[in-house]
Amino acid sequence: MKHEENNRTNRHSETSDFLHDKKAADQLFQNIVSELELNPSLTRHSGCAYHRRFIGRYVLRGTCVLAAACLFAFCGTGFLQKPAISRVKAAPSSNAASATVTFQVDALFPVRDVSASLNEKTISVDTLGNNGYSIEVSENGYLLLEVVSISGIRSEQGLSIDSIDDQAPVIVSHMHTGSLIEIHVRDIGDSGVDYDGIYATTSSGMIKPESFDAADGLVVFPYPSEDMYITIPDKNGNRLVSLLQPADESGTEESR
């Protein structure tokens, strides 16, 4: 009997210890839940799952913040980067009447504006694609290229254009031969003399050449009996106007 009573006492003690340990564990769990700001009504198993979701959510949030910071740093570098103008080339046309200028714009982001001016006069810029641009110029001078980034940073590059023929032809020599006057001409530019456009004028009107030889630069007019103005154009529209005066009593003739 005494042995059975001892067994009941031991079982009661073990039950009390278990209940005490369970109560202590529950209190500890509640403290942890409270510290982590979790839902205190959850069980231990569901609380652990919630805790995992809680940690995962904040890990994801931290990852997003880090990614945003990296993106901001990357974009910030691009916004502050000065655009570069590269691969600038100027190619004259075959008749030296114009030139085509091409260039490349190097920038991390699309630029706000691309412009050009020739001798301080704005000229149009054509887009070629792949950040390439083209400009047609028809006179010599100083060409200024300007690019403005999306953040307002400017980049400039200038170059001299000197390949366009803006010089009129010249008279190299002239010779009185019988009833004709032979004139040798030369274009000091690259477009060439426009022989079909050569003519002369006197008080009687316009006179066309008797003949011309483009290979020799020779133009033949009737010998004038009065002052004669000879107009010699080139293929780029430059013109020489020269006065040819007939010989005076001393036999001297003059061209200017």
Domain boundaries, the chain: 2-76, 84-161, 170-255
- CATH fold of 84-161 reads Immunoglobulin-like (2.60.40)
Q: Are the beta carbons of 116 and 145 closer than 8 angstroms?
A: yes
- For 118, the token pair is 């020739």
Q: For 29, list phi and psi in degrees, rounded to 5.
A: -60, -45
- For 168, the token pair is 């009129």
The residues of the chain scoring below 50 in pLDDT are: 1-7, 9-10, 18, 38, 249-253
pLDDT at 81: 80
49-100: per-residue pLDDT in tens?
Answer: 555 665 666 566 666 656 555 555 555 555 568 899 999 999 888 778 889 9
pLDDT at 62: 63
CATH class of 170-255: mainly beta
Entry field: residues in the chain:
256
Strands 218-222 and 180-186: antiparallel
Contacts of 243 (CB under 8 A, 6+ apart): 227, 228, 229, 230, 254, 255, 256
Q: Are the beta carbons of 110 and 137 closer than 8 angstroms?
A: no
pLDDT at 61: 64
How many other C-beta atoms are found inside a 10 Å radius of the C-beta of residue 233? 21
pLDDT at 93: 83
pTM for this model (two decimals): 0.57
Identical fold for domains 84-161 and 170-255, yes or no, is: yes
